[in-house]
């Protein structure tokens, strides 16, 4: 994640295993091949990758889906399998992954996640994924779940607290340690909101009016999630960037459910750079298990 005023931006790094899907001179799609060795992390690899089929854009999208479900569930059904060697472990992961239906993988979570997997697995090798459709799936879910974007994320508050601890004198640090609230002061949340706007959130669609952040009681994060009064004049104008969908974010607050109909996507969304804005696109339901990252098992 970015630092300071860029804390709402995700930087994609480490392209060591990436390859171009089009020829640089002819711009033709790379040819379909089989009997390929697995490249990448087996835990998130697509089914076709396990079957030895050359990877393309469809496989990237399927792998992203596994990452999202890992964040939501806390683990994936094919984790923790024991085997004598790496090859046998990859085979077990492949068998379990193929045997796990989309419905079983996404059970207990919004149907948009199952729709995402069904779409990705329906793509042919050279197909261009309909990114706008996939983004719209989660935008509509975001609205239906009653969230409102307020530019403040979990990591925004965390980095603020860390910066205060490193820069504050000992007496101020002791006073801070005595506070029971994990929330950053309201002034910081407001400044984060303004920084978020200046960092490009409102640039996503200059013709739409952004929803202003609600007044926040810094004493309780739970209160920030409580429903607020529905404003019909702003609900249709709210636009959300869905470049990143990682876990539940405190960069959103609850609103009453509104219509999930969307206007056609803007050209700005189709000209994204590798540096993209983050937004709270994933939803943690009250009945869902909290994310507990697995340690020591990279497969």
Start-end of H helices in the chain? 47-50, 57-73, 86-99, 102-105, 111-122, 131-144, 154-167, 170-177, 186-196, 221-224, 232-235
- Give the tokens for residue 231: 């404003």
Q: What is the mean pLDDT of residues 209-230?
A: 41
Q: How confident is the model at residue 158 (pLDDT cuts 50, 70, 90)?
A: confident
8 pLDDT above the threshold of 50: yes
- Give the tokens for residue 237: 């104008």
pLDDT confidence of residue 152: 73
According to DSSP, the residues that pair with 253 across neighbouring strands are 148
Domains of the chain with bracketed CATH: 32-143 (1.10.510.10), 149-257 (no CATH)
Q: What is the mean pLDDT of residues 225-253?
A: 42
Using CA atoms of 228, 285, 181, 2 in order, give the dihedral in degrees to the nearest 10.
-90
Q: Which has the closest alpha carbon to 6: 200, 188, 183?
A: 200
Of residues 84 and 215, which shows the higher confidence score?
84
Does this model's pTM top 0.75? My answer is: no
pLDDT confidence of residue 292: 42
pLDDT confidence of residue 253: 56
Q: How confident is the model at residue 298 (pLDDT cuts 50, 70, 90)?
A: low
pLDDT confidence of residue 194: 55
38 pLDDT above the threshold of 50: yes
User: Can you tell me the distance from the alpha carbon of 283 to that of 299, in angstroms, rounded to the nearest whole number?
Assistant: 25
Task: Please enumerate in sequence order all residues whose Cβ is within 8 A of that of 42, keeping only pairs 6 or more positions apart, or say none.
Answer: 50, 89, 90, 93, 94, 299
Q: How confident is the model at residue 285 (pLDDT cuts 50, 70, 90)?
A: very low
pLDDT confidence of residue 252: 58
From residue 212, give the alpha-carbon distance in Å to each of 27, 161, 219, 292.
Answer: 44, 24, 20, 33
User: Can you tell me the distance from the alpha carbon of 86 to that of 292, in angstroms, rounded to the nearest whole number?
Assistant: 25
Q: Which has the closest alpha carbon to 141: 252, 250, 227, 226?
A: 252
210 pLDDT above the threshold of 80: no
97 pLDDT above the threshold of 60: yes
- Residue 22 CB-density burial (10 A; 0-12 exposed, 13-18 middle, 19+ buried): exposed
pLDDT confidence of residue 159: 67
217 pLDDT above the threshold of 80: no
pLDDT confidence of residue 216: 41
According to DSSP, the residues that pair with 10 across neighbouring strands are 276
Q: Which has the closest alpha carbon to 245: 172, 143, 139?
A: 139
Burial 254-280 (b: 16+ CB within 10 A, else e): ebeebeeeeeebeeebeeeeeebbbbb
* Residue for token pair 């996507």: 265
Q: Which long-range contacts (CB under 8 A, 24 or more apart) does 88-95 make?
A: 89/42, 89/299, 90/38, 90/42, 90/50, 90/299, 93/42, 93/43, 93/50, 93/299, 94/42, 94/47, 94/50, 94/51
235 pLDDT above the threshold of 80: no
User: Can you tell me the distance from the alpha carbon of 280 to that of 225, in angstroms, rounded to the nearest whole number?
Assistant: 13
- Give the tokens for residue 260: 């999930």
pLDDT confidence of residue 155: 75
Q: What is the mean pLDDT of residues 164-180?
A: 55
- Give the tokens for residue 162: 């860390």
């Amino acid at each position: 994640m970015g630092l300071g005023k860029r804390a709402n931006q995700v930087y994609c790094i480490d392209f060591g295993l990436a390859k171009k899907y089009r020829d640089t001179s002819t711009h033709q799609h790379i040819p379909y091949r089989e009997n390929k060795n697995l490249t990448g992390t087996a835990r998130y690899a697509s089914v076709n990758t396990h079957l030895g089929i050359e990877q393309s854009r469809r496989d990237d999208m399927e792998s992203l889906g596994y990452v999202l479900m890992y964040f939501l569930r806390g683990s994936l059904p094919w984790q923790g399998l024991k085997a004598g060697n790496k090859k046998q472990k990859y085979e077990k992961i492949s068998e379990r992954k193929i045997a796990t239906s989309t419905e079983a993988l996404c059970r207990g979570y919004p149907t948009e996640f199952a729709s995402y997997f069904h779409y990705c697995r329906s793509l042919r090798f050279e197909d261009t994924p309909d990114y706008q459709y996939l983004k719209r799936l989660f935008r509509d879910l975001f609205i239906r779940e009653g969230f409102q974007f307020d530019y403040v994320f979990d990591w925004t508050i965390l980095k603020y607290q860390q910066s205060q601890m490193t820069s504050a004198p000992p007496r101020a640090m002791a006073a801070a340690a005595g506070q029971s609230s994990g929330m950053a002061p309201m002034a910081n949340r407001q400044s984060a909101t303004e920084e978020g706007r200046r960092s490009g959130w409102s640039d996503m669609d200059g013709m739409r009016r952004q929803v202003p952040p609600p007044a926040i009681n810094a004493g309780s994060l739970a209160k920030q999630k409580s429903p607020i009064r529905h404003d019909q004049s702003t609900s249709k104008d709210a636009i959300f960037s869905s470049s990143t969908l990682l876990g539940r974010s405190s960069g959103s607050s609850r609103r009453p459910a509104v219509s999930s109909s969307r206007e056609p996507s803007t050209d700005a969304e189709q000209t994204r750079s590798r540096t993209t804005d983050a937004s709270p696109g994933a939803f943690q339901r009250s009945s869902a298990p909290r994310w507990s990252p697995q340690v020591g098992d990279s497969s």
